[in-house]
């Protein structure tokens, strides 16, 4: 059983489970909205990251251990999720909190 996830407060120690990607920002946002209905405990943790012209759907966690504890829960819904889908967000998308952008009224983080 997974512990209740909490919102990450700092980009330095934030990890994420990448649970898919889309080329269209609206399609990606739709999946983030579906996350709130499919896994309500993650309602406030879904974010979009733009990298290599893709919008990645990510669930945020405060530590790698917390992401690992929640991996099974996410995998039960999105069956293709593996340990390799856990990312240290500062390494994967440096300074992501400072790179917030909006496209078609949808907020995302732009990765270099």
pLDDT in tens, 35-81: 999 999 999 999 999 999 999 999 999 999 999 999 999 999 988 88
The number of folded domains in the chain is: 1
Residue 8 lies in a domain: no
| Global confidence as pTM | 0.87
What is the band of 12 on the pLDDT scale with cuts at 50, 70, 90?
low
Beta-strand ranges (E) seen in the chain are: 15-22, 46-51, 54-61, 86-88, 100-103, 106-110
4 occurs within a structural domain? no
- Is the residue at 28 inside a domain? yes
Give the torsion sign (CA, 8, 10, 11, 14): negative
Give the whole-angstrom CA distance, residue 91 versus residue 30.
Answer: 26
In a domain, 89, yes or no: yes
Per cent of the chain over pLDDT 90 is: 82
From 4-8, 74-78, 84-88, 101-105, the region with the lowest mean pLDDT:
4-8
Domain that holds residue 74: 15-110
Residue 2 is predicted with a pLDDT of 47
Side-chain-side CA neighbours of residue 48 (13 Å): 26
pLDDT at position 81 is 86
């Amino acid at each position: 059983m997974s512990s209740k996830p909490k919102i990450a407060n700092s980009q330095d120690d934030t990890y994420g489970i990448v649970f898919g990607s889309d080329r269209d920002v609206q399609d990606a946002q739709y999946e983030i909205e579906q996350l709130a209905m499919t896994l309500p405990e993650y309602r406030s943790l879904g974010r979009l990251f733009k990298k290599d012209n893709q919008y990645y759907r990510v669930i945020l966690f405060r530590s790698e251990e917390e992401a690992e504890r929640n991996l099974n829960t996410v995998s039960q819904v999105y069956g293709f999720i593996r340990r390799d889908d856990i990312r240290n967000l500062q390494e994967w998308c440096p300074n992501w909190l400072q790179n917030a952008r909006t496209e078609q009224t949808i907020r995302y983080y732009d990765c270099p």
